[in-house]
Amino acid sequence: MKMDSPASILGLIDIQPTFMPNGELPVAGGDTIVPAVNRLLARCGHAFATQDWHPPGHSSFATTHPGKQAYDTIQMPYGTGVLWPDHAIAGTPNAAIHPAIDQRRIEVIVRKGFRPELDSYSAFFENDRTTPTGLEGWLRQRDISHLFLCGLATDFCVAWSALDAVGAGFAVTIVQDACKGIGLPDGDGQTTLDTARRRLTEAGVAFVNSDDV
């Protein structure tokens, strides 16, 4: 299905300065995806965006847990969680959608992670895997069946969003040159990017470049 089909939508996942060079949780090269994302926006029929939107002292921040460092893991009530540097503080300029993004095609913005006790990667669910964001219902009411995803980071919020979308019955395509990943060590010489790519491929997610859609 083409990206400009009435049943397709482009999803911009967490394209925020907080995840770019000089941000609080930088993804290497995160700012370089902006031109590709704007090209996609110019060609899509519909678009949505997500924002990480955390209160100060969020439970996913390493600073909230004395003695812990960024990228340590801890047990949350809903499972193992990664602790992050303080980032995407609600209402700050670095939590906004990147100012160079052309937002005229964006029809809805989903803010996630605003509950102090819950981290949130996916555009569809908080990390307890039961609290919905409402995006699925919004898409279904508009008869959307195919999601094209871009943004930050490939191995976390983009991957979790894609897997949840497939689980909900949507077709999913990741525009890989309009994404950047973190690539944390994930055991046996693998990184979180390796693991995410394997899981996404096994789930039936397609990968394309921006020139191909």
pLDDT in tens, 2-49: 888 999 999 999 999 999 999 999 999 999 999 999 999 999 999 999
Instruction: Say what the pTM is.
Output: 0.95
At 62-108, the pLDDT tens digits run 999 999 999 999 999 999 999 999 999 999 999 999 999 999 999 99
User: Residue 140: pLDDT above 80?
Assistant: yes
pLDDT band at 206 (very low <50, low <70, confident <90, very high): very high
State in words which class domain 8-212 has.
alpha beta
Catalytic site residue from 112, 150, 164, 180: 112
Q: Which helix (H) or strand (E) holds 42?
A: helix 34-43
Catalytic site residue from 14, 31, 52, 164: 14
User: Residue 188: pLDDT above 90?
Assistant: no
C-alpha 37/C-alpha 43 separation (Å) is 10
Q: Which pLDDT value is given to residue 20?
A: 96
User: Residue 159: pLDDT above 90?
Assistant: yes
C-alpha 146/C-alpha 162 separation (Å) is 11
Residue with tokens 């990943």: 181
Q: Give the mean pLDDT of 46-54.
A: 98
C-alpha 178/C-alpha 37 separation (Å) is 6
Q: Mean pLDDT across the chain, nearest whole number?
A: 96
Catalytic site residue from 31, 157, 179, 180: 157
In terms of Cα–Cα distance, which of 115, 105, 102, 197 is closest to 153? 197
For 86, the token pair is: 């303080």
High-pLDDT (> 90) share of the chain, %: 92
First-to-last C-alpha distance (Å) of the chain: 9
C-alpha 116/C-alpha 193 separation (Å) is 27
Verify whether residue 179 is a known catalytic residue.
Answer: no
Torsions phi, psi for 168 (to 5 deg)? -90, 0
Verify whether residue 150 is a known catalytic residue.
Answer: no
Q: Which pLDDT value is given to residue 174?
A: 98
Verify whether residue 180 is a known catalytic residue.
Answer: no
